[in-house]
Amino acid sequence: MLASRRLFSSVAPKKSVSALSVFKDSCYHKIDFKIHEEATVNDAVRRFAAFNIGCLAVTDAQDSVVGVISERDYINKVSALGKDDKAVMVKDVCTYTPNLILAKKSDSLDQCMNKMLVKDIRHLLVFDDNQRECLGLISIKDLVKEVMKNKDDIITRLTDFKMGKGAYFGSE
């Protein structure tokens, strides 16, 4: 029985997936995911709708990423309070440092998921390992896609093994 467990675990070795590689497959990789803190919340909401996204990185006058604004910010801090989204500025409702939860580019898929689950958030800014430069933005959806990609790979390899196609090397 132990031998079959070893065979099973060797069928699909775990790949190390980093936050940066998740970003490269993300919808945020293809768009300008930043908005200036002096923009109106209405501008942010229109960007959410136009790109079918739920979060934007907030930049300051030096074009440095200093925060995030999400759909939740809009719902909880603008809409639910009956405020005019054309009069409220992004800087008035976004989340700034030190309250930001960040991912380092080298963080694993599990580390990113844990950060999101522990803090009940759906997006992470991806920074270089020195946390000086924002490299991207990832969502829980991006992480789930990556997990599913891995599961599809495992299913394919196990199906090939069952059909006698050579197990680990049969799918290439």
Domains of the chain: 15-139 (3.10.580.10)
Instruction: Tell if the pTM clears 0.85, that is, is over it.
Output: no
pLDDT for 92: 97
The phi, psi pair for 9, rounded to 5°, reads: -70, -25
pLDDT for 165: 66
Each residue's pLDDT, cut to its tens digit, for the chain (172 residues) gives: 444 433 333 333 456 789 999 999 998 999 999 999 999 999 999 999 999 999 999 999 999 999 999 999 999 999 999 999 999 999 999 999 888 999 999 999 999 999 999 999 999 999 998 878 999 999 999 999 988 887 777 777 777 766 666 555 544 5
pLDDT for 163: 66
pLDDT for 160: 72
pLDDT for 158: 75
Pairwise CA distance, residues 158 & 170, whole Å = 10
In our burial notation (b when 16+ CB lie closer than 10 A, e otherwise), range 134-152 reads bbbbbbbebbeebeeeeee
